Structure 1
Amino acid sequence: MNFLSNKLYKNKKLGLFVFFTVIILIVFISIFWWNKTKATLAKEAFNSYVNAWNKKDFKFMYDMIDEDSKSKISELDFVQRYKNIHNGIGLKKVDVEVKSLEKNKYDKDIENINFEVTMDTTAGKLKFFNVAQLRKNKSWKIIWSSKMIFPELDNEDKVWINTLNSKRGEIKDRNNKALALDGTAAEIGIIPGKLGNESEKLKEEISKLLQVPVEDINKKLSASYVQQYMFIPIKTISKDDKEKIDSLLKIPGVMVNEKKARVYPLKEKAAHLVGYVQAINADEIEKNKDSDYKNGDVVGKTGLEKIYEKVLRGKNGYEIYIVNKDGKKKKTLISTAVKNGEDLKLTIDSDMQNLLYEELSKDAGAAVAMNPKTGEVLALVSTPSYNPNDFVMGLSQDLWKNLNEDKKKPLYNRFQSNLCPGSVFKPVTAAIGLKTKSIDEEVSKNISGLKWQKDKSWGSYFVTRVDDYGQPTNLINALVHSDNIYFAQAALNIGKDKFQTELEKFGLGEKIPFEYGMSKSQFDADGDIKDEIQLADSGYGQGEILLNPLHLAAIYSSFVNSGSMIKPYIKYDETGKAEIWKNNVFSKEIADTILKDLTQVVESPGGTGHEAYISGLNLAGKTGTAEIKLSQSDVNGTELGWFAAVNTDNPKLLVIAMAQDVKERGGSHYVIPMVKKVFESFNVAK
């Protein structure tokens, strides 16, 4: 009995031990789980606050702060404080990583959250550690102060940003003359309170002078922020427009301030080449996410400004810092150094650019000047043109309409396009004919009269020429007198397959290796000459032959480079080192033959280019009159006039010019004096 009692007693004691152990474990686990759940809920509440921060839902954030915090700041002030800081520092995104959670030592209802913040700001990525406190009432609430934004920010402090404006790189010519620079313009504005009793009449005068609708002026003057004493900008114009500025300053209430602006000294004369900048738009910001563009930045829109945007663009420097209530700097949060854009030096000679533009300014045309030995492009002109300063400062509706409706298409870039070359193409056919032995320079073809067809299968179609110069009808005379029939027969003798293959060796159908994107030249729209008539017409630069003017210049460089085509370039290189684009397209002997014949085009009194003759300067040249018409019987078609010339003794200058609509104005002879003027104005004889 004693034994059994003792055993029962021991079992009862063990059971009680197990029971109480289980109870203790349950209590311990419950407390642990409660604390863990409590921490998780606090973290979730904090994450909701951060998500609202990223969404700029500042009202939701205010709802999440505790009552004590709300008693110290109103919802309106809270929302405005966050808006001011967000907008001021260009805050794009807030990333928060919770590092740890811990109970507050002094208050069991408060949870401390240690977290790391990464802010994507205008000045770059700003990283720092911070601590948030959340109080448990019915739900978790943020114990808020300004330190929740930045640890060093007190409630009376402010966050400021200082911008160090960068300088966009200048675009300069080979002699360091500016083609594009950061300069100043005249900002025209109105002080509303000084317009007086005749404000409506005065606004009409301002509207007429600035070509800004009165409605636009009224809209700016009636903005909610406008005060009677404020200067309200209306339009920016060039400082050179002194007559207009003087007229504006005579109007009561008008004031002129100096404003930084991109300036283009050559105006229309280099517009298509240099291009212009304007404020970046939302689509461009989206396409260039990795380049840190923001609203208000300028970006190259056309021309070299666009092509070399990454080189020319500067990056502003920034400092984000905290100031106390007295305006004294308290702490710098982040700073980035200013980075100015790089200058771009070109091979362009602005004097030559200016002269060629002036010569062609009355016409729709294009011109190229190049050093045929180095490939340096000295001028690239398209006429008519526009003033890029107008685009920077703001085009009026009337001016934009005029530019778009002008029949000569001033916004169209002709040096970038493809054009029918006409007879300036004949030396190419000559080179191919000599290379394939389809032409013997000494042999005279049996040609007479002003028209010819291969046989009756051509129906009513004839190849025509303007001069029956007699015999011999050999290569030199065909070039001197620009004989269409000779080169039509030459193309047929070469044959379509050989002709096309050799044209491809000249780069037709291929992208031109040049910084500025140019249209590809072609010998046929589909890459295959259709029939004998098209082949014959192609021999003298008609048919479907289309050449880019710069490509044509590269082709002509082969005549002074022993049959190799130079690679054109526009970014200045101190070494002036030449690169070959197409090597040994034909032999040196062929190049010498054609160059000799082209010299006679200018020197011979009967040569089509004799008007370009300059005593003491040996010029080789070729004229070209390209017919643009729907059919051979079309009498309403127009003509393009071409002239290409190069000095031969020590080749330094090759000039090609083209003018449209030269029919009944002399054809190619209309253009010859323009090219001659360039050689007369620039000493290339030495």
Structure 2
Amino acid sequence: MTKKRKKKKSRIYIIWLMNLCLTIAVIAFFVWHESVPDVSPENALKTYMAHILNREYEQMYEMIDAGTSGNISKEDFVKRNSAIYEGIGVDNMKVHITSYDKEQKEICYETSMDTVAGNVTFENKASFILEKGKYKLIWNDSLIFPELDSTDKVKVSTTSAKRGQIIDRNGHMLAGEGVASSIGVVPGKLENKNDAISQLAELLEMKTEDIEKKLAAKWVKDDSFVPLKTAPKVNELKLMSIEPDQETLAEKDRQEKLLEIPGVKISDITVREYPLGEAAAHLVGYVQNVTAEDLEEHAGEGYTSNSVIGKSGMEGLFEKELKGQNGCAISIVDSNGNKKKIIVSTIVENGKDIKLTIDSNLQKELYEQFKDDKSCSVAINQYTGEVLALVSTPSYDNNDFIRGMSSEKWNALNEDENKPMYNRFRQVWCPGSTFKPIIAAIGLTTGAIDPNEDYGNEGLSWQKDSSWGSYHVTTLHAYEPVILKNALIYSDNIYFAKAALKIGERDMESSLTKLGFNEELPFDIKVAKSQFSNTDKIEKEIQLADSGYGQGQILVNPLHMACIYSAFCNEGNMIKPYLTYKEDAIPNVWITAAFTKDAAQMVLEDTKEVINNPHGTGYAACRTDITLAGKTGTAEIKASKEDTTGTELGWFSVFTTDENMDRPIMIISMVEDVKGRGGSGYVVKKDSQVLEKWLSDN
């Protein structure tokens, strides 16, 4: 063999040997790599726990070693973990590793998590095995809770908080616990099912398909009681009265017919009840079962799918105080239902009672007087600011929302042209002549009005000059002398148009702004802002003149009106209204020195004359036992001065004038559509009857 061949053979051998070494090195690398885990047990545990928060149960299963975990299937694993973690509402889970035994591959750690029953903290252990370079968790039920065995269950028990009552100043219930009748059927006892459902649908005013749907629910068995409708409980005492009301008789008759159907059952249930019904529905409001949107909006506030929530009125305004906090406990129970351990629990906190300044008898009396009208009334103690009544008519029965209102009834309420769902005491209205005492007080305070100046008898029609074109201010009475007191007694539009012109646009605007116009009323219930112009400025002379007698673009909320009138009784200071009862009714002033003390006193004396002088427009309310003051008003709502198709709003503001009497009161009522019904006189008559009842109970 030549040297050349030997050299070539040696070179091939070296290359082969190098390749072999490289191959061995690569194999060795992969063998080494496979034997070194890419994730530590500590990180594996934290990743596993993070999957719990994200509800990634299948990813959790991929991290366990099924063989050493009792060969649990993915389906059973997911079902077990999801039921427990989602059932207890786990959130904000944190894991703190306290130690790690490398030899045993065992981690000791502390877990903290928020649940529906509060925060849970416990110590636990987790074991791992190394499999193909990955740490796999050895899973068992105790990894969820240390005391949990495979046959145990985790039970969540809720104790519902009792909703607080809403009561009036005298302790009478406006909203609270009541009893109603739950009408339902036991399916297995129904005979001639189709005929029975048809009869039920007719008597309960339900659709047959709705009843069938309830009976077809998955939980329903032959011996189940399936509630169909909540109805008023028949009051036996009312039936025994000399003249039982027709509604009670009709409900008694209906329930007797229902009980004739085999399988029908009527039982008592506890419900939210509103004793005043229509008389206070706009004030008290109502509750309804929470919706998915409510649960999302109020997440973390303790609401469940079985909760109710205030939807309007006082029920909505004081929801946080009324609802309380449910009690909740998370327990481990064994296969026999025996409690092994309470993991965490919170004590039930019942809702707080809310006591209002409202007088329910006054509320009812005002409602009864005006229930057939489109109206609103407010009543306050003008010396303390306590709101005694807030009434809007026509109204609706808020109990219907508890018993379950049919879509037909809901549509009827919303389509009614009289708008029974419309809360009128929250709105603003053209005040008419009830605005004249306010103009008088502004004029006296600014010095624009001399109360003894005679403006001259202009007859029943007047205009400043020819620049007004065909526009004239008209009034109903001619009298002499034309001074402030007489102008209020006779409710003279011409006098107050002239007075407004003397005050001037800028002083009028600044004075009304000072009185809270274009400003939120500082009150629990949000009401519309009063205004003196659609543009926040009085832009024309005629508009200014019309504003003087409560027309033009003047709009006032009746509670705001009461606050302004309160200044006549409080040396020129406007009282702040409030609704939550206080044992010591200490008044709070909303606007200090709204008018000068002398101006307020003079207007008070002149408004006494409106009621007590035989020529006064409010004389029909005059009493011999006490001195009242006030002002009537009839606001014209029409497109133009010549319009004869418009309507009229009737107003009456009336109040007691003795601060030391037991129950002072100011009532302001507004009624729509009084044209042809006596104008403001219609309102005076009704408020007089309310005052008679109030004062006779004094």
> Do they fold alike, i.e. is TM over 0.5?
yes
Number of the residue aligned with 2:285: 275
The answer as to 2:164 corresponding to 1:165 is no
Q: Deviations over 1:249-288 (max 9, x none)?
A: 3322222333332211111111111111222333333333
Alignment map for 1:168-317 (pairs within 5 Å): 168-197=163-192, 199-240=193-234, 242-243=251-252, 244-317=254-327
1:538/1:544 contact within 8 Å kept: yes
Task: State how far apart, in whole Å, the 1-side matches of 2:148 and 2:182 are.
Answer: 39
Worse overlay, 332-341 or 252-261: 252-261
Amino acid at match of 1:235: K
Unaligned stretches of 5+ residues in structure 2: 1-29, 235-247
Task: State how far apart, in whole Å, the 2-side matches of 1:673 and 1:501 are.
Answer: 36
Assess, with a 3 A threshold, how the Cα gap between structure 1 residues 124 and 418 changes in structure 2: closer, same or farther.
same
Amino acid at match of 2:161: S
Task: State how far apart, in whole Å, the 2-side matches of 1:394 and 1:74 are.
Answer: 46
Q: 1:444 aligns with which of 417, 439, 454?
A: 454
1:39/1:101 contact within 8 Å kept: no
Worse overlay, 409-418 or 278-287: 278-287
Deviation at 1:45, TM superposition (A): 4.4
1:64/1:141 contact within 8 Å kept: yes
Number of the residue aligned with 2:608: 599
Worse overlay, 431-440 or 573-582: 431-440
Alignment map for 1:217-616 (pairs within 5 Å): 217-240=211-234, 242-243=251-252, 244-468=254-478, 470-616=479-625
Amino acid at match of 1:406: D
Task: State how far apart, in whole Å, the 2-side matches of 1:457 and 1:631 are.
Answer: 18
Deviation at 1:140, TM superposition (A): 4.0
Task: State how far apart, in whole Å, the 2-side matches of 1:38 and 1:227 are.
Answer: 56
Q: 1:124 aligns with which of 118, 123, 130?
A: 118
Number of the residue aligned with 2:675: 663
Amino acid at match of 1:643: F
1:132/1:148 contact within 8 Å kept: yes
Task: State how far apart, in whole Å, the 2-side matches of 1:229 and 1:93 are.
Answer: 43
Number of the residue aligned with 1:151: 146
Assess, with a 3 A threshold, how the Cα gap between structure 1 residues 238 and 97 changes in structure 2: closer, same or farther.
farther
Task: State how far apart, in whole Å, the 1-side matches of 2:54 and 2:589 are.
Answer: 57
Task: State how far apart, in whole Å, the 2-side matches of 1:117 and 1:685 are.
Answer: 65
Unaligned stretches of 5+ residues in structure 1: 1-29, 106-110
Q: TM-score, normalised by structure 2?
A: 0.88
2:309/2:316 contact within 8 Å kept: yes
Deviation at 1:684, TM superposition (A): 7.6
Deviation at 1:32, TM superposition (A): 12
Task: State how far apart, in whole Å, the 2-side matches of 1:405 and 1:201 are.
Answer: 33
Number of the residue aligned with 1:14: none
Task: State how far apart, in whole Å, the 2-side matches of 1:261 and 1:90 are.
Answer: 28
Worse overlay, 313-322 or 643-652: 643-652
Assess, with a 3 A threshold, how the Cα gap between structure 1 residues 99 and 310 changes in structure 2: closer, same or farther.
same
Assess, with a 3 A threshold, how the Cα gap between structure 1 residues 622 and 311 changes in structure 2: closer, same or farther.
same
Assess, with a 3 A threshold, how the Cα gap between structure 1 residues 259 and 143 changes in structure 2: closer, same or farther.
farther
The answer as to 2:638 corresponding to 1:639 is no
Task: State how far apart, in whole Å, the 1-side matches of 2:355 and 2:32 are.
Answer: 72
Q: Deviations over 1:217-241 (max 9, x none)?
A: 2112112332222112223233256
The answer as to 2:33 corresponding to 1:61 is no
Assess, with a 3 A threshold, how the Cα gap between structure 1 residues 270 and 556 changes in structure 2: closer, same or farther.
same
Q: 1:672 aligns with which of 679, 684, 687?
A: 684
Secondary structure in 2 aligned to 1:682?
helix
Assess, with a 3 A threshold, how the Cα gap between structure 1 residues 137 and 526 changes in structure 2: closer, same or farther.
same
Assess, with a 3 A threshold, how the Cα gap between structure 1 residues 597 and 312 changes in structure 2: closer, same or farther.
same
Q: Deviations over 1:268-320 (max 9, x none)?
A: 11111111122233333333345333333222211122222222221011121
Task: State how far apart, in whole Å, the 2-side matches of 1:41 and 1:34 are.
Answer: 14
Assess, with a 3 A threshold, how the Cα gap between structure 1 residues 492 and 335 changes in structure 2: closer, same or farther.
same
Deviation at 1:64, TM superposition (A): 4.0
Deviation at 1:47, TM superposition (A): 4.3
Amino acid at match of 2:141: S
1:69/1:145 contact within 8 Å kept: no
Assess, with a 3 A threshold, how the Cα gap between structure 1 residues 251 and 97 changes in structure 2: closer, same or farther.
farther
Q: Deviations over 1:192-246 (max 9, x none)?
A: 222211x223222322333332222211211233222211222323325642444
Worse overlay, 303-312 or 136-145: 136-145
1:191/1:232 contact within 8 Å kept: yes
Task: State how far apart, in whole Å, the 2-side matches of 1:32 and 1:83 are.
Answer: 38
Deviation at 1:76, TM superposition (A): 4.2
Deviation at 1:665, TM superposition (A): 0.9
Q: TM-score, normalised by structure 1?
A: 0.90
Worse overlay, 366-375 or 676-685: 676-685
Worse overlay, 170-179 or 289-298: 289-298
1:447/1:486 contact within 8 Å kept: no
**Percent identity over paired residues:** 47
1:625/1:640 contact within 8 Å kept: yes
Assess, with a 3 A threshold, how the Cα gap between structure 1 residues 522 and 357 changes in structure 2: closer, same or farther.
same
Secondary structure in 2 aligned to 1:348?
coil
Task: State how far apart, in whole Å, the 2-side matches of 1:135 and 1:234 are.
Answer: 57
Q: Please tell me the root mean square deviation across aligned C-alpha atoms, in Å.
A: 2.5
Amino acid at match of 2:153: K
Secondary structure in 2 aligned to 1:403?
helix
Number of the residue aligned with 1:82: 81
Assess, with a 3 A threshold, how the Cα gap between structure 1 residues 120 and 188 changes in structure 2: closer, same or farther.
farther
Task: State how far apart, in whole Å, the 1-side matches of 2:174 and 2:551 are.
Answer: 37
2:69/2:138 contact within 8 Å kept: no
Deviation at 1:63, TM superposition (A): 4.5
Number of the residue aligned with 1:8: none
Task: State how far apart, in whole Å, the 2-side matches of 1:80 and 1:121 are.
Answer: 19
Q: Deviations over 1:66-104 (max 9, x none)?
A: 333565544444333334323543334544444444335
Secondary structure in 1 aligned to 2:223?
coil
Q: Deviations over 1:344-373 (max 9, x none)?
A: 111110000010011110011100111111
Assess, with a 3 A threshold, how the Cα gap between structure 1 residues 225 and 412 changes in structure 2: closer, same or farther.
same
Worse overlay, 571-580 or 229-238: 229-238
2:302/2:326 contact within 8 Å kept: no
Q: Deviations over 1:402-454 (max 9, x none)?
A: 11101111111111111111110000011112222322222221233322111
1:617/1:685 contact within 8 Å kept: no
Number of the residue aligned with 2:8: none
Assess, with a 3 A threshold, how the Cα gap between structure 1 residues 343 and 128 changes in structure 2: closer, same or farther.
same
Task: State how far apart, in whole Å, the 2-side matches of 1:336 and 1:586 are.
Answer: 55
Task: State how far apart, in whole Å, the 1-side matches of 2:418 and 2:360 are.
Answer: 24
Assess, with a 3 A threshold, how the Cα gap between structure 1 residues 504 and 248 changes in structure 2: closer, same or farther.
same
Worse overlay, 446-455 or 205-214: 205-214
Deviation at 1:643, TM superposition (A): 0.3
Assess, with a 3 A threshold, how the Cα gap between structure 1 residues 408 and 646 changes in structure 2: closer, same or farther.
same
1:649/1:685 contact within 8 Å kept: no
Worse overlay, 271-280 or 229-238: 229-238
1:211/1:398 contact within 8 Å kept: no
1:270/1:381 contact within 8 Å kept: yes
Secondary structure in 1 aligned to 2:174?
strand
1:91/1:120 contact within 8 Å kept: yes
